[in-house]
A = this chain, B = another copy of it.
Amino acid sequence: MGGRTGGRARAESETGGRRRADAERNSAAIITAATDLFARDPDASMTDIARAAGVGRVTLYAHFSSREDVIRAVLRQVIDQSTEILEGARSAEEPPADAFAHLIRTAWPLIGRFGRLYNAARRTLPAEEVRQLHDPPMAHVRELILQGRETGVFRTDLPVEWLVSTVYALLHAAMEEVSARRFDQVEAGEALVQTLLGALRAD
């Protein structure tokens, strides 16, 4: 960058860098505002998102070409965060059933409040895309189920992929119960753990 290109190129590069940094800040602010918004209102529009993020519609559309794109980015970020939590919560020392319960209890405070976001995603993106976005956290669930099968505490009479789908389905069912206010978030998390342990355990 230095040498022959001199000061002007460096100044341009710095301007470019600042612009990129601004753009990233805007994009992050939009995703953060949209995450809170969709947790309250699954029908939030692009106008609502722009207002919540404190940006104009032109800026919003410069970052995300459609409402679908915003929902995809928000869902991806929430799932990335929950995957990090799951990675941090893993412990090789606990027996698999305890480790599994610990995993759900650790992730639940973050994800339990996103039933409305999940509904917005289900209404906007194809079901299979929503499911595939969950592959990284579900890989951790799958691994714990396999460990529980090896030690004889989890059932082996059903395909592991179906047991992963069971966890996925009940996790989202609990989120929807909370978002429909049929269930308190703390109680829902514990009911989820107890129901999953029942569904997974060996006879």
Is A92 positioned at the interface, with any CB of B under 8 Å from its CB? no
Copies in the complex: 2
Asked if residues B166 and A173 are in contact (CB atoms below 8 Å), the reply is yes
Is A172 positioned at the interface, with any CB of B under 8 Å from its CB? yes
Asked if residues A166 and B170 are in contact (CB atoms below 8 Å), the reply is yes
Q: A122-B127, A198-B198 are in contact. Are A162 and B176 (CB under 8 A)?
A: no
Is A62 positioned at the interface, with any CB of B under 8 Å from its CB? no
Asked if residues A165 and B173 are in contact (CB atoms below 8 Å), the reply is yes
Interface of A is mostly: helix
Mask, A36-61, CB within 8 Å of B = 1, is 00000010000000000000000000
CB neighbours of A75 from chain B (8 A): none
Number of chain A residues close to chain B: CB under 8 A: 37
Q: A158-B191, A170-B170, A183-B162 are in contact. Are A127 and B200 (CB under 8 A)?
A: no
Minimum C-beta distance from A173 to chain B (A)? 4
Sampled A-B contacts (16; CB under 8 Å): A42-B127, A119-B126, A122-B122, A122-B127, A123-B124, A127-B176, A127-B180, A131-B176, A158-B194, A159-B191, A162-B191, A166-B173, A169-B170, A196-B199, A198-B198, A198-B200
Given A155-B198, A161-B183, A170-B170, 19 additional A-B pairs, CB 8 A: A42-B127, A119-B126, A122-B122, A122-B127, A123-B123, A123-B127, A127-B176, A128-B180, A131-B180, A162-B177, A162-B188, A165-B176, A165-B182, A166-B173, A166-B195, A195-B199, A196-B199, A198-B198, A198-B201
